[in-house]
C-alpha cells in the first residue's frame, strides 16, 4: 500500500507528525478493505514513529500488537521486525537483559527469512544492549557485524548509526582519534543522504535527527584541541538545522563536567574548566 511506503519515507526524513498521519490512514484503510498484512505493516510503522519520538510505552504496545497480527499471518519477517521493535524500546528503557533476549529472537526470525537488513538492525540493537550492560567487546563485535551487513545492503544511514555507536565505545576507552574518525565517517554518510532531499525544510527536519552525532563530534574535536574544526562543524549544522537541537547536547556535556571535588586534582579541575570555556566560546561565536 502506497501510504505505508510514504510513511516510511517521511519517517526516514524525520517528519514524524506526517509519518504518523500516513501510517494511521494506511491502517484504517487496510482494516476497511480487510487487508490484514498491510494493517500490520501500518501498525509497525506507527510503532517506529512512536519510538523515534521516544514515546516508549506507546511504541511497545503497538509493536506487541503488530507482532500478534504478524504471527496470525505466519509472517516470520514481520514477527521479527515487531520483536526487534520491542527490543529497541527496552533499550530505551535501559532494560538490557530483556532487550538482548528479544534481539536474539528477532535475529533468529530474520535469518529464517533471509532478511539481511533486518539482521543488520538486530546486530546494531544487540550492540546497544551490550554497551548498556558495559560489555564493550561484545558491543563492538555486534557493531562490526552490523556495519558489514549495512554496507552490503548499501544502507548509508544504518552504517552512519553504527559508526556513531562504535565511536561512542571508543570514547569510553579514551581513544579520541579513533572515535573522531568514526564520527567523521558517520557525518559524511548523513550528508550524502541529505543531498538527495529537495527543500531546506526537509534538510532541517532530517538533520535534527543527527544533532547528537554532530554534538559528540564537536566535543571530540575540542578535546583534541581542534577548535577551528569544531567551530566549522557546528556552523555547518546550525546553518541548516538551527542551534537549539544541538545546543542542548553541548550544554548537557558542559554541565556534566565536574569543576570541583576532593577526588579531583588541580590539573583535572583546570582542564575541565578550560574545556567548558572553549565549548562555550565556540557556541557563542555563532
Cα dihedral 115→161→239→175 (10° resolution): -160
pLDDT at 150: 98
pLDDT confidence of residue 263: 87
H/E/C letters for each residue in the chain? CHHHHHHHHHHHHCCHHHHHHHHHHHHHHHHHCCCHHHHHHHHHHHHHHHHHCCCHHHHHHHHHHHHHHHHHCCCHHHHHHHHHHHHHHHHHCCCHHHHHHHHHHHHHHHHHCCCHHHHHHHHHHHHHHHHHCCCHHHHHHHHHHHHHHHHHCCCHHHHHHHHHHHHHHHHHCCCHHHHHHHHHHHHHHHHHHHCCCCCHHHHHHHHHCCHHHHHHHHHHHHHCCCHHHHHHHHHHHHHHHCCHHHHHHHHHHHHHCCCCCCCCCHHHHHHHHHHHHHHHHHHHCC
In a 10 Å sphere around its CB, with 0-12 CB exposed, 13-18 middle and 19+ buried, how is residue 110 labelled?
A: buried
Average pLDDT, the chain: 95
How much is the pLDDT for 1?
Answer: 75
Residue 125: predicted pLDDT: 98
Contact 148, 111 (CB under 8 A): no
Contact between 187 and 214 (Cβ < 8 Å): yes
Percentage of the chain surpassing pLDDT 90?
Answer: 92
Domains (ranges, CATH) in the chain? 1-86 (1.25.40.10), 197-286 (no CATH)
Mean pLDDT of 176-182: 98
Torsion sign, CA atoms 26, 62, 109, 70? negative
Question: Distance (Å, rounded) from C-alpha 113 to C-alpha 158?
Answer: 20
| Sequence-ordered list of residues with C-beta below 8 angstroms from that of 120, at least 6 positions apart, any chain | 146, 149, 150, 153, 155, 158
| Model confidence band, residue 140 (pLDDT cutoffs 50, 70, 90) | very high
Q: Is 15 left (phi over 0), alpha (psi -120 to 50) or beta?
A: beta
pLDDT at 51 over 90: yes
| Residue 123 dihedral angles phi and psi, to the nearest 5° | -65, -40
Query: Tens digit of pLDDT for each residue in 251-268?
Result: 999 999 998 888 888 898
Q: Is the pLDDT of residue 269 over 80?
A: yes
pLDDT tens across 191-237, in order? 999 999 999 999 999 999 999 999 999 999 999 999 999 999 999 99
Amino acid at each position: 500500500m502506497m501510504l505505508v511506503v510514504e510513511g516510511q519515507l517521511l519517517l526516514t526524513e524525520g517528519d514524524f507528525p506526517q509519518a504518523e498521519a500516513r501510517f494511521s490512514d494506511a491502517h484504517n484503510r487496510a482494516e476497511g478493505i480487510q487487508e490484514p498484512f498491510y494493517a500490520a505493516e501500518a501498525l509497525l510503522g506507527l510503532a517506529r514513529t512512536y519510538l523515534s519520538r521516544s514515546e516508549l510505552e506507546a511504541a511497545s504496545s503497538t509493536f506487541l500488537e503488530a507482532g500478534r497480527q504478524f504471527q496470525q499471518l505466519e509472517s516470520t519477517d514481520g514477527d521479527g521486525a515487531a520483536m526487534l521493535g520491542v527490543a529497541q524500546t527496552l533499550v530505551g528503557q535501559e532494560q538490557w537483559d530483556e532487550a538482548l533476549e528479544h534481539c536474539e529472537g528477532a535475529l533468529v526470525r530474520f535469518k529464517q527469512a533471509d532478511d539481511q537488513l533486518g539482521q543488520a538492525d538486530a546486530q546494531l540493537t544487540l550492540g546497544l544492549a551490550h554497551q548498556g550492560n558495559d560489555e564493550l567487546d561484545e558491543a563492538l563485535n555486534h557493531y562490526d557485524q552490523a556495519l558489514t551487513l549495512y554496507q552490503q545492503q548499501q544502507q548509508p544511514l544504518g552504517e552512519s548509526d553504527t559508526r556513531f555507536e562504535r565511536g561512542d565505545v571508543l570514547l569510553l576507552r579514551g581513544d579520541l582519534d579513533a572515535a573522531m574518525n568514526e564520527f567523521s565517517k558517520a557525518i559524511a554518510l548523513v550528508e550524502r543522504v541529505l543531498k538527495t532531499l529537495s527543500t531546506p525544510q526537509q534538510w532541517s527536519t532530517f538533520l535534527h535527527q543527527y544533532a547528537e552525532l554532530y554534538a559528540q563530534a564537536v566535543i571530540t574535536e575540542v578535546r583534541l584541541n581542534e577548535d577551528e574544526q569544531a567551530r566549522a562543524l557546528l556552523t555547518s549544522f546550525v546553518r541548516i538545522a538551527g542551534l537549539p537541537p544541538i545546543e542542548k547536547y553541548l550544554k548537557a556535556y558542559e554541565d556534566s563536567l565536574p569543576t570541583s571535588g576532593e577526588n579531583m586534582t588541580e590539573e583535572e579541575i583546570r582542564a575541565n574548566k578550560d574545556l567548558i570555556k572553549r565549548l562555550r566560546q565556540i557556541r557563542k561565536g555563532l
